[in-house]
Amino acid sequence: MRAYLSIRYDAGTPQIDPAWRSLLRRAANAALRRCSAGSGRDAEVSLLLTDDENIRQLNRDYRQRDAATDVLSFAMAEGEDLLPAVATEGKSPPLLLGDIVISRQRAAAQAEAYGHSEQRETVFLFVHGMLHLLGYDHERGAAEEAAMFALQDELMQELGL
């Protein structure tokens, strides 16, 4: 099982280096492996790196919250449809998980506030977004929040961050 990650940038958003991209791919694979036990399906996810203004616009348009945020996740499937075991000629096509959007400006500011690198903060936000795409939602109650945040911490440790 493998996660296929495409990374895009809004105009003017600085690109990340190959080592950083590799770490994000490892994070996608780790999250997929931990959250899809038994399905064996490959999955596709898209990451857009943007700025505060563009993420604010997306947050306003899709969540009715007129404020910049650090990460947004847009899942293609939810609940029981998340990891269906539909086979096509013996092999299932990759599951389209969805899109993650991260504000590089917000990640840099949070990294400075927390005293770690922008790379670490961006990977953390990406892992958070991946867990949302894989069905976790910390806004559904304390028990789900605790489970999601514990898994988030485990994945960051697995990545050495």
- pLDDT, residue 145, reads 87
Domain ranges of the chain: 3-158
Q: Does pLDDT of 56 surpass 80?
A: yes
Distances (CA, A) of 150 to 113, 143, 144, 147: 22, 11, 10, 5
Give the total residue count for the chain. Answer: 161
pTM: 0.88
Q: What value does the CA radius of gyration of the chain take, rounded to a whole number of Å?
A: 16
Alpha-carbon dihedral sign for residues 18, 20, 25, 26: positive
Q: What is the secondary structure of 48-103 as a DSSP string?
A: EEE-HHHHHHHHHHHHS--S--SEEEEES--GGGSS----STTSPPPEEEEEEEEE
Contact call for residues 17 and 118 (beta carbons, < 8 A): no
Q: Is the pLDDT of residue 12 over 90?
A: no
Fold of 3-158: Collagenase (Catalytic Domain) (3.40.390)
